[in-house]
Structure 1
Amino acid sequence: MAGKPKLYYFNGRGRMESIRWLLAAAGVELWGLSVLTLFFLSKDGALLFQQVPMVEIDGMKMVQTRAILSYVAGKYNLYGKDLKERAMIDMYVEGTRDLMDVIRVHHKLSPKEKEKNLALIEEKATTRYLPVYEKVLDDHGQDFLVGNQLTWADIQLIEAILMAEEKVSTILSRFPLLQVFKARISNIPTIKKFLQPGSQRKPPPDEKLVVTANRVFNRK
């Protein structure tokens, strides 16, 4: 296990999933640990802010999702070659995060609320977010969003696309360049491996997972 990042979270997607995606895309083997371990770590101050996700990497116990993702992206050359590219990556990442936040709440809603949320997901994805990435790809005619090389922005976009398709299967029907982008990124060897059964990728949340997560995070 030496050298592998240790991921502390419950056995579901949540805010850890983007970290799993980024590490997997970088070809890094992961060691996932139960979130229950955190309640023991928190007693000696190992868990800063008493929050998860937490990742042990390079001798650090890192919390705060954005800080972890930024570190991993920088460490594995997925964060652009200069400040300008990094700024572009940050903008694209924040856009996908906004869309993903709309999708993440879906499993917590009542049946009536879920129906409305599906319509909201489709409306926001197809009118606000996906057109931006379609235009970026069209304007520069390259395979990736920034610098014509794989970055954190591409990895988080493919994660967001697949999440959206789980809710609205036709979400990319009006975006031919994103359809090509999806196929291209999904076939990168490390990402293709992550998309296979048995990987560290987690399935969409269900009611059982919601109950488990609530119990864990409300535990005193």
Structure 2
Amino acid sequence: MSSYKLYYFDGRGRGETARMLFAVGGCEFEDVRVSGDKWKELKPKTPLGQIPVLEVDGKQLPQSRAIEGYLAREFGLYGSNSLEAARIDAVYDTVGELMARPIQLTFYEKDEEKKKAELAKYYVEEAPRRMGGLTRLFEMYGGGEEGFFVGNKMSLADIFFFAMTEYFDENELKKYPKMEALHNRVATNSRIATHMKNRPTPTF
């Protein structure tokens, strides 16, 4: 069995989906949380000078999307055929589009008043269209009211959606009942729930 080390900062960001994939896959890994001087030492040793980086038996794999795709395939969370895998990719990209603006504002806008105003604008002007698209994909590809994005089985699409919408205002999420229900369905998965309970308090 392969040994895994995941290198990322002590926060959620681009590392949390991979951590959740390990949890759902029931696979042990070393969660290396990097900060301060440790990052200065590690940075020149990474392929691209950035993290996350996954080590598989000592071999490095950079880029969060590549890491997540690899783990999802390893753990049977990437659909049962090529079409389902493509549908998972479509959902993944749509979630990325949904969350690009709020994540940008959350991490990079230092003016708190401007951040608040821009987020309010986003939730009125952009979020309904993005969430509407995700809801349509769920209705087209999913397994009904109690299902997931692609069929009746949890996949990378659902885990990525859940991890990213931790940054989506929970009161705004209530405006999209099917998406809120899906978010809650992932949250109540026993392995996700255990991960959430036991993970360190994130710095971001």
TM-score over 0.5 for the pair: yes
**Separation (CA, whole Å) in 2 of partners of 1:32 and 1:75:** 18
Indicate the residue corresponding to 1:24 in structure 2.
23
Deviation per residue, 1:70-98 (Å, 9 max, x gap): 10111111111111111111111111122
State which drifts further: 74-83 or 109-118. Answer: 109-118
Deviation per residue, 1:34-67 (Å, 9 max, x gap): 4354544555xx5212221111124421111111
Q: TM-score, normalised by structure 1?
A: 0.77
Given the alignment, which residue of 135, 154, 157 partners 1:153? 157
Is the Cα–Cα contact under 8 Å of residues 94 and 134 in structure 2 kept in the other structure? no
C-alpha spacing 1:141/1:150, structure 2 compared with 1 (3 Å):
closer
Q: Which amino acid aligns with 1:146?
A: V
Q: TM-score, normalised by structure 2?
A: 0.83
State which drifts further: 32-41 or 106-115. Answer: 32-41
SS in 1 for 2:54: strand
Is the Cα–Cα contact under 8 Å of residues 38 and 47 in structure 1 kept in the other structure? no
Is the Cα–Cα contact under 8 Å of residues 99 and 121 in structure 1 kept in the other structure? no
Unpaired runs of 5+ residues, structure 1, are 206-220
Q: CA RMSD in A?
A: 2.5
SS in 2 for 1:62: strand
Deviation, 1:126, is 3.4
SS in 2 for 1:50: coil
Indicate the residue corresponding to 2:61 in structure 1.
62
**Separation (CA, whole Å) in 2 of partners of 1:195 and 1:121:** 28
* 2:123 corresponds to 1:119: no
Is the Cα–Cα contact under 8 Å of residues 11 and 34 in structure 1 kept in the other structure? yes
User: How many residue pairs end up in the alignment?
Assistant: 197
**Separation (CA, whole Å) in 1 of partners of 2:116 and 2:97:** 19
C-alpha spacing 1:14/1:174, structure 2 compared with 1 (3 Å):
closer
**Separation (CA, whole Å) in 2 of partners of 1:191 and 1:134:** 22
Unpaired runs of 5+ residues, structure 2, are none
**Separation (CA, whole Å) in 2 of partners of 1:26 and 1:125:** 34
